[in-house]
Chain A
């Protein structure tokens, strides 16, 4: 009897430990990682984070320094397309999230998930379970089909948002989403509620909008607990079926031992055109495009200094670390040579002196650095003057 009690107790403890570990929001990436302008930056969440993930789990990207026109994206790292149409691009205001589906999870387990976009900085990425979120349906229709001419709106009464809190999310359950479907949320006077939902792409069976600050909450509660309109849901190419209020009820883990670290970032000093960590893997998939802007006042005989650390995996993979400098448009050799020149890497900096041809190339279109077997740490221009 006593043994049975121990077994039962142990099972309970194990269950509670397991559940505590798993039913918390756990950090999988620690930033900062700057996602700069023009869709040029991204970071890939490693596939290992998703080995135990389930359909319905929620990926959350916490961020700061977002410009008002910032956009985020969840991408398939194999083709850099949106991992689902509704995640190809979206406005950013506060943390943004994605619920894992079968299709998304399949990609994530094999290749990971890339986070991209422009004009914001990732501070942290977490994974949490669907059960960490509790949804209460606050509007049940009747369903409204959004015509392609944007002429239809569903009017949502104030009483739907009485219990809304800052940090909650509003989930719009949709169906019949067509290609190009988009949602627009306006307030009672037809003003857009939030630039991030002014024609935002929607797809699948739901779109989730996060109430990231108190101003939004207050806007939605202006109509009070009444049937007066608090929100107009419009858009095109989808059917709005119901609306739920989603609240986080889970716990937050402070165990960062399994978290991925973003590459180091530095503020560029005068003369530096890159300073950080960028891996050039052994499969030649790595490249870095440098615009012509830093070279506008360069003169012949100015020197480019490229610093790096050798990738310890290169040798095991039978790869000879090397890099090559290419013209910024068609990848031809920067010197104008018919064949690309490969500079072998022995651990010392690569020093490159511009001649007239190369100088014209970099001042006109910049250049592309490509190579294998190293991590780029810095590129500097040393002026001959």
Chain B
């Protein structure tokens, strides 16, 4: 019975999922559809909520404290009495997961943090700081380069099935697929944001470059890697619980993997002032009118403190969701103030009435 109701709501939402009351110059009748036609009912339902709320309110979100927990969400609860709607886990340390490494220090195969969050009404997100062996053979890193602590890992080897790099990439993707599949079996849809910030600052100014290895070989290789991953996860592993988020660095359309493999365009910004954020939002909205636009990472930066959410909204941004970054030192008790988004910022956001919390989402998902 529950499935029948779910199916009806899914069909209704997929048909009627349009942006509403979005600010000028956004179109108001563009349908947003998931690129995977086989998306699970739960994924369709979540997508429906995202679409229905787009332009009305933003979903509040946080990233995990480094990897596999809801520590930052607890901070928000302590500060505001409300949990954020979205908790994003990071597969950054899959090499140290106990299911593949006897000396590992965490266990991604243990779904407890995810299920507890989901069962409490939260939306689950996953991102991936995909680490590969550094040139020194000891460390793991995402940073490309020739220094001992950096990696010369060549993403173009995704086209060479005989290479070690290819095997490594497939092995890692398959490992992550295992965790995502567990979530699928548990009925958990996932906002999935891999291979982020690929262009680095290469499109920002002369001399800029990619800061993650998956962007180091340029846009063509990057897009091949994205599509390989999409194919491997969706078609090979039959993962139908993913909402695919590509992260733009602004003016990097040549890095866009394609409308058929991207559901949401995200933007990471640590110069998160209301005016530049509004400009970027409008740019992305104009460039990708058929996609939801999300503030996939944000927080105070080196130069500026993030604008209050009420100011960001007042300037005209209508991000589908935002996700603030974690502060390791704050969470370890060695810093008194949160580096990226602290109590005052969150109190403004939750108190503004412009964002959705976990409780709000729970109600909407019923």
Q: Is the CB of A363 within 8 A of B276?
A: yes
Q: Is the CB of A67 within 8 A of B311?
A: no
Is the CB of A65 closer than 8 A to any CB of chain B? no
Inter-chain residue pair count (beta carbon < 8 A): 53
Interface residues as binary, A306-344 with B (CB distance below 8 Å gives 1, 0 otherwise) = 000000000000000000000001100000000000000
Q: Is the CB of A67 within 8 A of B149?
A: no
| Residue from B271, B336, B339 whose CB has the most chain A CB atoms within 10 Å | B271
Given A296-B311, A330-B205, A69 and B273 touching (CB < 8 A)?
no
Q: Is the CB of A69 within 8 A of B329?
A: yes
Partner of B276, one of A195, A330, A364: A364
Q: How long is the Cα–Cα vector from A342 to B274 in the complex, in angstroms?
A: 31
Is the CB of B260 closer than 8 A to any CB of chain A? no
Interface residues as binary, B255-283 with A (CB distance below 8 Å gives 1, 0 otherwise) = 00000000000000001011110010000
Is the CB of B24 closer than 8 A to any CB of chain A? no
Contacts of B265-312 to chain A: CB distance below 8 A: 271, 273-276, 279, 301-305, 307, 311
> Which residues of chain A are within 8 angstroms of B205 by Cβ–Cβ distance?
329-330
Interface residues as binary, A169-181 with B (CB distance below 8 Å gives 1, 0 otherwise) = 0000000000010
Interface size class of A (residues with CB under 8 A): 20 to 34
Interface size class of B (residues with CB under 8 A): 20 to 34
Q: How long is the Cα–Cα vector from A69 to B301 in the complex, in angstroms?
A: 15
> Which residues of chain A are within 8 angstroms of B305 by Cβ–Cβ distance?
293
Q: Is the CB of A68 within 8 A of B329?
A: yes
Output the least CB separation between B328 and chain A (Å).
10
Q: Is the CB of A291 within 8 A of B329?
A: no
Q: Is the CB of B273 within 8 A of A293?
A: yes
Q: Is the CB of A296 within 8 A of B302?
A: no
Partner of B337, one of A67, A148, A330, A365: A67
Q: How long is the Cα–Cα vector from A38 to B301 in the complex, in angstroms?
A: 8
Q: How long is the Cα–Cα vector from A329 to B303 in the complex, in angstroms?
A: 12
Partner of B334, one of A68, A295, A329: A68
Interface residues as binary, A328-369 with B (CB distance below 8 Å gives 1, 0 otherwise) = 011000000000000000000000000000000001111000
| Residue from B273, B305, B335 whose CB has the most chain A CB atoms within 10 Å | B273
Closest to B136 in A: A148
14 contacts between A and B (CB under 8 A): A38-B301, A38-B302, A195-B334, A289-B303, A292-B276, A292-B304, A293-B303, A293-B304, A293-B305, A296-B311, A329-B204, A363-B276, A364-B275, A364-B279
